[in-house]
Structure formats: C-alpha cells, structure tokens
Amino acid sequence: MSSKIKIPKKGEEIRIGSNLDLDIPNHPIIPFISGDGIGIDITPSMQAVIDHTVKKAYGETKKIEWMEVFAGHKATEVYNKNTWLPDETINALKKYIISIKGPLATPVGGGIRSLNVALRQKLDLYVCLRPINYFSGVPSPLKNPEKTNMVIFRENTEDIYAGIEWEAKSKEVNQLLSKLDQFDVIDKVRFPDSCALGIKVVSKEGSQRLIRRAIEYAISHNSKSVTLVHKGNIMKYTEGGFKKWGYELAEKEFSAIKNNSGEYVLSNGLVIKDCIADAFLQEILLKPEDHDVVATLNLNGDYISDALAAQVGGIGISPGANISDSTAIFEATHGTAPTIAGKNIANPSSLILSAHMMLEHMNWIEAANILHGSFRKTLEKRQMTADFASQIKDCKALSTKDFAIALIANIKKGS
C-alpha cells in the first residue's frame, strides 16, 4: 500500500543520542493525530496557537513542521474500514520521536480494547505524565485550588490494566481455577462457577523505571517530595512490591537515607515517602500542599489523575503525555466528547497545555514561557469556553476558535 503520510518538505527529523539526549532541529517534523469527535475542533486551534507562540519566541528561525498521521475514524477513511491504527502511523510516531494527538474513540467491536492502550503497549510508553496546576480564574470546587500543584507519574504498561482477563465460564477461567486449586487458594474464590478472572502484573523492573523517572524529574525541578502511592497494605506483593522497590531504588541509585519517620531523604533534601491510595484521595482534598511529585501504579494513577484534574478545573484543562525512553506522545486527557463534536464549543485547553509540555520537552523554553503567560492572562480576563463560562456569573462563553484567537492576541501583546 502506498504511503498516506505527506512529509513536510522543509522539515527535519528530531534525533536521539545514545545517552537519550534530544537533538531538536530548527524545523522539527512533529506528527499529529487530529483525533475523533472534538479532535477536529481543538487540533487546528492548538496548532494556530503554537505556531504564533513559536514565531513570537524565535521569529523565522524556528518553526514546527506539522505532519498529519492517522488513527481512529480518520484512519478507516484514509486506509480502509478495518484499519484503526495503521503500522505506518506507529512507525512514524516512533521515527519522529515527539508527537501530539487529540482524543480517539474506542472502536466498537473488532477486537480492539482501546487505541490509546494499544499505542502505549506497542511503543512501550511506560510513563503517563500528568501535571496538575491551577490557573487563576478557572472555576473549581475547592476553596483554595491554588494549593493543588502536583505532577503525576502513572505507570502505563502493567497492573490489572495489562488486559489479561477472561470472561466468566470461559475455558481459560476454568483452567486457571484448577491451577488455583493446586495452589490451595481456590477457597478464596467466593463464586467459582460464575467468576471472571484478571491478572495483576507488577514487576520490579517496571516499577523502578517509572519511579526512577519521577525521582529524576523531582531532582531537576527542585521538588520537595516524591510520594509513592500504593495499596500495599492489602496487595502486599504487587502494590507492596511497588513501594518496596521504590525505596530500594531511592537508596541504591540516589543514595537516599532513611529518617526517623521512615521516609528516605536525598542529599539535596528531596524526600521520598509513601501513602496508601485511599488515604491519598483524602489528602489531595485536605492537604494537597503536602504532595509534589507522585509516582503510582496504573489503576491508582487513572483514578488519581482525574480526581486531581477535577480539583483544578477538570479534564478540559488537564494536559498529559505518554513517554518511553525515546518516544513522547503529548495528548489531550479528555475523550472525544461526541455530543459537542464539530460545534466549535469544546475547550481546547487540555491539548494546548499538552503542546506546552511538548515545548518544554523540546527545551524551547522561551516559547513555553510565552504560552504559559498568555494562558494565565487569558483566563484571568475570564476569556473562556462554555464549560467554564457556564459556571461563572455574567461570563460570556467564547467558541473554541475565539478562545484560540484570544490566546494569540495575548501572545502578540507580549504577555
């Protein structure tokens, strides 16, 4: 099949060195997946805002060369009706190293659980990175939302999310039940005749590579603490292993020393501590200022990221990225919002702030700072899309495009 991807003529490839350092050219090719549903509303707005930001920061010297690659419904139109995630797309995401994507609908039938999960597994994107910051003016259910300021590192490839599970009464479940009988634990299965079974996979290697990234991030950002969030009081070997291996790593690789409270402290003062997941969900409401960088397992991370996002305005404004040792895909954290798709009313903030993370990852810090300043100013001026404006008295909602135009105007004014 001939290629459906048009490579931008002036673009150059991002390279990665053997020490994993990035070499970013002035005209990097960045693949993008427009996304399903509101993807068609938010992606062009994100690109317009980023192009203006980069121009403001670097004039004509630097420019992102966008390259469309296809996944989801658009892939079924461009390739054929059964191709949701073409190999060509996977290969491009790998080859060009840094990319960005809108939301993708989960195909109904066809044996695909989720395109997002498939992407994470195929590219071994083991870090799901979710910064949680509050922008003044954004409606929040909290009295002091500005106290919530965290960065979540969620393990993305293991846990009960690995997709190893079988339907009740299937032959695999029957075989596993007979194994459990051999292990003398069958009486722990309350209703063996009607149970489905899933397997929770948590490894030392998988846990430590995630926790290592969290500690490195905390060191480079002068953070006060890394909290390992787990449910090891009940799941002693899987979630308890995550905690144990985390502390072992802190000791061995970062020379952390255990203090009297059972926490581990690095020579620069960074504290590595842990918290049981249910207690953590209380703490993020009652004492969010006590937590800074968070490292956690896949399922806990899923719940915690959305709970924290809600504290600062919801998934409409929460950015994210999925990262391996080499590849990074920045993405809107919300779904396709089908009921508002194509209406030019969706909030593009999640995708634009994901692009902000991308600029930081590329070390285009001047551009990242300009965008952040404009974002703050725009929201402080109560220039907002309907999801936020509807919660504020006498605040007139902007369309998706008009919100992007407001951001661009505030960039031009030199915010």
Please report, as ranges, the residues that interact with ligand NAI according to CB under 6 A.
Answer: 38, 103-106, 116, 315-316, 331, 334-337, 339-340, 346-347, 350, 387
231 is catalytic: yes
Specify the residue, 208 or 385, whose C-beta has the smaller distance to ligand NAI: 385
Judge whether 228 and 246 are in contact, CB under 8 Å: yes
Minimum CB separation of residue 320 from ligand NAI in Å reads 8
184 is catalytic: no
Minimum CB separation of residue 347 from ligand NAI in Å reads 4
DSSP per residue, 292-314: -EEEE-HHHHHHHHHHHHHHTT-
Judge whether 42 and 8 are in contact, CB under 8 Å: no
247 is catalytic: no
Among the options 23, 278, 381, 396, which is catalytic? 278
**How many other C-beta atoms can be found within 10 angstroms of the C-beta atom of residue 269?**
9
Among the options 96, 126, 161, 247, which is catalytic? 161
DSSP per residue, 44-107: HHHHHHHHHHHHHHHTTS---EEEE---THHHHHHS-TT-SS-HHHHHHHHHT-EEEE---PPP
96 is catalytic: no
First to last CA, the chain: 48
d(CA 33, CA 99): 8
Among the options 231, 243, 244, 273, which is catalytic? 231
Specify the residue, 345 or 411, whose C-beta has the smaller distance to ligand NAI: 345
Judge whether 376 and 339 are in contact, CB under 8 Å: no
Specify the residue, 38 or 297, whose C-beta has the smaller distance to ligand NAI: 38
Specify the residue, 42 or 270, whose C-beta has the smaller distance to ligand NAI: 42
∠ CA(39), CA(44), CA(48), 5° rounding?
145
Minimum CB separation of residue 243 from ligand NAI in Å reads 28
Among the options 51, 124, 290, 302, which is catalytic? 302
The residue nearest ligand NAI at its CB is 335
Specify the residue, 225 or 399, whose C-beta has the smaller distance to ligand NAI: 399
Q: Which residues does the annotation mark as catalytic? A: 161, 231, 278, 302
